[in-house]
Structure 1
């Protein structure tokens, strides 16, 4: 039995800040352990920012479900557009009115904003000017770099981009002041319809906008996303993994760059070739450092960057010892200005003199003050602390050394669309929707052994999918997401520390039977999340022998209520499951 340790408790309610500190860990030790059980399996919490627990009551959940059932069926974009065209009027969104309450939760703004349609302050407005690129995006007054970084990546995958931004809209043909976008929300794609009235100040857009004055896809996309979550202020501060999932429906795994895998470059290169979205951030050594402080090397702490390319270049130096290949990563700062990395391989650095003109042409190399810059993989790993990779299936997260990954050519020249590989789909997905209900299913983590068994339980059967492999193990990716928290931000809601614990059923136990307190007292967990994190989604990859496993999702403390979505990705050819 391990030595007794102190449990940790959440910090007190924090003041609202301009930007949420999504990447800091400041969970302070406080309190003492409950009595030890025969199996002592203490969970570790780790908050990503100063926070407080929000208790979303069962009454709220019940009312929300009832109201959802009472809502009339919404009219779709085309029906509403046709009605406006027939009536010769421009659409006005009754659900997201052009007032200060759509900007600020309290209806108080720093200045007086005027809501205007694009044609009222711009000559010849267009949805796109020569398509959508990452260089279009300009961050405004809102602290939503976590969204902009993901959108920047999305522009490099036109097929997926036009799922989020449908092509059937614009300012010329059948224009009626109405636009629509699609976002993935908790297992399904949801259409968000808006009008094109945008907040301006002195005839200038104040939030996300395009570098080109008469291009409006950026501003309209941000408005639709703000409507989805209840207002522009709801987008202030966040983690790039949230927006990447909302834009793709994929699953995100985080790489801790303070302890990176030995084949980090291959992992990133493989992810890039599969058109996965990648983002990164820096957590400073001193938690007191202010968010978005600019370091001496040009990088910004607690700021979301998108990774826009991963490649190798041939070094053609006259000195034989300097010849070889350089592994490079290209990053984009959503501010879109001169705030860029200033070290090796930065704009106009001497390292670029060691590669040929052909290589420079292949890279489409430019040295503009556009927020985009290059770094060596070593400098990237040394300076950034987290890397997050989002793919629609988990194939990209296999940290294996592909024999052909180093030798294959970088086939995607600048401006050429990357395409996902046509690999045989061997992943299956299960989704479970559940809730932690006070005095019923909100049992807290395993530290609270007397209530832990009341949590929801999900049984999954894993079968080794490959007869030819040598390890006889099955890969399973488990992702737990808490629902509807950002939508409730205006009411003081915040993310709770969540996680899950996994148990392997003994052969003598019948699968599908709910495990009780006695089982958990005398059986250690088979696997669990490294920490209970106060973020929207927690994802971990496991390698297990074939058999039955029970996944127990929970909050860190008991009686913390809320709804969740549990997704399980498995290689198994056949996957049987049950929910308890």
Structure 2
């Protein structure tokens, strides 16, 4: 379900006196907000399992009709590590008269519990300055413990460009009747505890995994903003002014201490590896001194009362009346600290810049009050690369590129203030976001005006290359750029497939972020079949196979006959099918893991026919080599014969590996099947994988071109079954297979006979399928393995692409 949010008309800013950016009303031209029910997943046995999407209103309505209370099976009791002391209770069973949110209170009092999730609680503290944002996320006017109560609540979070709605039940972990994790300083208020549970469900379906995280990630998840990080050691000269500026702009802001405990931290009672909210910043005159001192107020998310709330030299440096009037402590856990001490005690400051939309309203530049605009785009990565490979030449060939053209300066110094942010969408099969390294590279192209370089040309030594910007789960950088054209290349050094990223630019310039890619020449791709000619050396052999299967009535064949021809040992393409593969060192490392765990992660899904063939081959070997007196087992020495029968060269190292791992002279039939199936999932054997569906698509492809002069038709299922081809069309198919396999082999690895995702674009280019990066990424996502693609997967993707583009051309 998708919900559209209209413009907000109440104040979206702080409770402080109005500032310039607060005075502007909602702009109907601002970006519309949509909310989707979150799609949670689970990664099981190398597959992503999607949970059923939960709709709050549907669930609540059904519960009220049944007079029941919600128990969330997607975040069940088994995931809570409960004990006799630690049990789940609903707020109504914890205290009388619980409320979600206490209105008309000046301060938010979320408090950190036993989890090390200060990075999340600090973000909640920042929400008090933005009522519209809080109302949008928590929805206190729409859900409560009174009206329509059914033990169900929901909260909203931003995920890589999309706001998602997360549903939870209100059962919370308790001990001795007290909340174990987040709570509120107001005893009967429960929004901090419930939103923490929703966030735990969204990220990991686990409370414990919330321990230790990144404030920039939680801030972005609660706002959609763009985070910046400043290291105090390298930014100390300008950092106070940066913080001061951030406190008068729409931002969320926090600071963090180091991993190491220093004497100064112990003196001030600060915690190591802990994050604090920055709640105020001031310039105040000292006693008998005209110069102003810089001070920062921080707030500990534990929310406990502190004996010494004005640290260091503050009590001796300022008059008591000044401290009382200007350095106020408003809530428990707040501390005033001199800036000179701050830069010694804190390692970093993180600022999340809110972006303009119908929740936040307009955002304005510091100078001249100009409106800021957000340019954003979603993209997909095929996979990750080793950090040593991350040169511009490499990443520009295997990752998407985006351009920005700056033609008008923001300031008198002829420069533009540009804030770039990159974030990754969470998925359960990926590394935790807080551990996932992502980057972007910026290149300035030395060209005149707003000219854009050809998307197929490389960057050269005359171009200015910026240092890469990176981070865990999120990367951002504020730049002051001269006029010209810039190229942004997002990439990752973590090896996962099909990750979605979101690239944002906040600046005074509208819609400046563009995809930088080549156009697709559909006519060139469509004409490929027309220009194919059969190879002379294979013509007679393959033609004879065709004639043997052709109907005597019309001299044509259907997809079933094509299937049998393509799988025939005499078919010209299959002449290399039975060349034995040499096992490489990498395989033995995998075999060790398989034998230790008795599990393997398949690099490709094997057909039932292939698995059955492996099983049959192994069983035939056992009939010959089975050890007397040990049913179902044979000597390890005969393992190489079994592997040879399955297409792999004899290798004594296999025996050594198996013998070392299993510690015995005999091996069971099930273990051999496991080994062979694992190997089959690593290697491509094209003659075994021309399945019936692919044969149907081959016929649809050539018939579509010939019948409609290159304008393809969407054949429905009954029509595809009835399609037939003549000998010329058959020759086109065979040559299409032969040429594409030749180019595929040029880029395939010798170890596994597969093409790495880094070479997929080059392989497609070689067969004249010059596609855009987004299409190549989708092909790899749908047809590829974790890091590579086998020929049978590749040819299926090419045929499907031909049919799709042909259909598109017909409709134009």
**Could you state the TM-score of these two structures normalised by the residue count of structure 1?**
0.71
Choose the corresponding residue for 1:311, options 282, 285, 308.
Answer: 282
Out of 503-512 and 293-302, give the one that drifted further: 503-512
Give, in whole Å, the separation in 2 of the partners of 1:420 and 1:298. Answer: 40
Cα pair distance change 1:158/1:449, threshold 3 Å: closer
Choose the corresponding residue for 2:399, options 429, 437, 456.
Answer: 456
Give, in whole Å, the separation in 2 of the partners of 1:61 and 1:498. Answer: 26
Give, in whole Å, the separation in 1 of the partners of 2:212 and 2:283. Answer: 34
SS at match of 1:199: strand
Matched, 1:87 2:87: no
Residues 432 and 567 in structure 1, CA contact (< 8 A), matched pair in contact too: yes
Q: What is aligned with 2:233?
A: 258
Q: What is aligned with 1:207?
A: 181
Per-residue CA deviations over 1:461-496 (Å, capped at 9, x if unaligned) read 3223348x43222232221223316x558x777623
Choose the corresponding residue for 1:571, options 508, 513, 523.
Answer: 508
SS at match of 1:222: helix
Q: What is aligned with 1:273?
A: 248
What number of residue pairs does the alignment pair up?
465
SS at match of 1:331: strand
Out of 496-505 and 561-570, give the one that drifted further: 561-570
Matched, 1:430 2:380: no
Post-superposition shift, 1:275? Answer: 3.9
Post-superposition shift, 1:564? Answer: 2.1
Post-superposition shift, 1:420? Answer: 8.6
Q: What is aligned with 1:344?
A: 312
User: Aligned ranges for residues 291-310 of structure 1 at < 5 Å?
Assistant: 295-310=266-281
Residues 363 and 372 in structure 2, CA contact (< 8 A), matched pair in contact too: no
Q: What is aligned with 1:325?
A: 292
Q: What is aligned with 1:387?
A: 349
Q: What is aligned with 1:100?
A: 78
Cα pair distance change 1:192/1:198, threshold 3 Å: same
Post-superposition shift, 1:222? Answer: 0.6
Cα pair distance change 1:421/1:521, threshold 3 Å: closer
SS at match of 1:453: helix
Give, in whole Å, the separation in 2 of the partners of 1:558 and 1:138. Answer: 37
Post-superposition shift, 1:72? Answer: 6.1
SS at match of 2:324: helix
Give, in whole Å, the separation in 1 of the partners of 2:60 and 2:250. Answer: 33
Out of 503-512 and 220-229, give the one that drifted further: 503-512
Cα pair distance change 1:477/1:204, threshold 3 Å: same
Residues 443 and 486 in structure 2, CA contact (< 8 A), matched pair in contact too: yes
Cα pair distance change 1:352/1:493, threshold 3 Å: closer
Per-residue CA deviations over 1:97-142 (Å, capped at 9, x if unaligned) read 2x131x3xxxx56765211111112122112345566662222111
Out of 221-230 and 173-182, give the one that drifted further: 173-182
Residues 408 and 483 in structure 2, CA contact (< 8 A), matched pair in contact too: no
Choose the corresponding residue for 1:188, options 141, 146, 162.
Answer: 162
Post-superposition shift, 1:570? Answer: 3.2
Q: What is aligned with 2:96?
A: 123
* Higher relative contact order, structure no. (Cα contacts within 8 Å, ≥ 6 residues apart): 1
Give, in whole Å, the separation in 2 of the partners of 1:482 and 1:576. Answer: 18
Cα pair distance change 1:420/1:259, threshold 3 Å: farther
Q: What is aligned with 1:172?
A: 146
Choose the corresponding residue for 1:140, options 113, 119, 136.
Answer: 113
> Once superposed, what is the RMSD of the aligned Cα atoms?
3.6
User: Aligned ranges for residues 548-559 of structure 1 at < 5 Å?
Assistant: 548-556=485-493
Give, in whole Å, the separation in 1 of the partners of 2:326 and 2:179. Answer: 36
Residues 116 and 211 in structure 2, CA contact (< 8 A), matched pair in contact too: yes
Per-residue CA deviations over 1:22-74 (Å, capped at 9, x if unaligned) read xxxxxxxxxxxxxxxxxxxxxxxxxxxxxxxxxxxxx999965xx66xx7664
Give, in whole Å, the separation in 1 of the partners of 2:257 and 2:417. Answer: 30
Decide which structure has greater helix share: 2
Choose the corresponding residue for 2:478, options 535, 538, 541.
Answer: 541
Cα pair distance change 1:269/1:522, threshold 3 Å: closer
Choose the corresponding residue for 1:242, options 196, 206, 217.
Answer: 217
Matched, 1:502 2:442: yes
Residues 445 and 554 in structure 1, CA contact (< 8 A), matched pair in contact too: no
SS at match of 2:397: coil
Residues 445 and 556 in structure 1, CA contact (< 8 A), matched pair in contact too: no
Q: What is aligned with 2:563?
A: none
Residues 293 and 300 in structure 1, CA contact (< 8 A), matched pair in contact too: no
Per-residue CA deviations over 1:395-423 (Å, capped at 9, x if unaligned) read xxxxxxxxxxxxxxxxxxxxxxx999776
Cα pair distance change 1:382/1:326, threshold 3 Å: same
Residues 446 and 463 in structure 2, CA contact (< 8 A), matched pair in contact too: no
Q: What is aligned with 2:597?
A: none
Out of 419-428 and 130-139, give the one that drifted further: 419-428
Q: What is aligned with 1:409?
A: none
Residues 312 and 327 in structure 1, CA contact (< 8 A), matched pair in contact too: yes
Post-superposition shift, 1:537? Answer: 0.9
SS at match of 1:155: helix
SS at match of 1:572: coil
SS at match of 2:245: helix
Cα pair distance change 1:88/1:447, threshold 3 Å: closer
Cα pair distance change 1:569/1:421, threshold 3 Å: closer
Give, in whole Å, the separation in 2 of the partners of 1:560 and 1:345. Answer: 54
Give, in whole Å, the separation in 2 of the partners of 1:351 and 1:377. Answer: 13
Q: What is aligned with 1:526?
A: 465
SS at match of 2:157: strand
Residues 459 and 511 in structure 1, CA contact (< 8 A), matched pair in contact too: no
Residues 476 and 568 in structure 1, CA contact (< 8 A), matched pair in contact too: yes
Per-residue CA deviations over 1:123-172 (Å, capped at 9, x if unaligned) read 22112345566662222111101111111121232222222211211112
Post-superposition shift, 1:579? Answer: 4.2
Residues 115 and 200 in structure 1, CA contact (< 8 A), matched pair in contact too: yes
Residues 274 and 420 in structure 1, CA contact (< 8 A), matched pair in contact too: no
Give, in whole Å, the separation in 2 of the partners of 1:301 and 1:419. Answer: 37
Q: What is aligned with 1:150?
A: 123
Mind listing any 5+ residue stretches in structure 2 that lack a counterpart?
1-42, 518-812
Residues 313 and 325 in structure 1, CA contact (< 8 A), matched pair in contact too: yes
Matched, 1:483 2:425: yes
Per-residue CA deviations over 1:245-278 (Å, capped at 9, x if unaligned) read 1111111111221022634333222211224211
Cα pair distance change 1:324/1:360, threshold 3 Å: farther
SS at match of 1:259: helix
Give, in whole Å, the separation in 2 of the partners of 1:470 and 1:550. Answer: 24
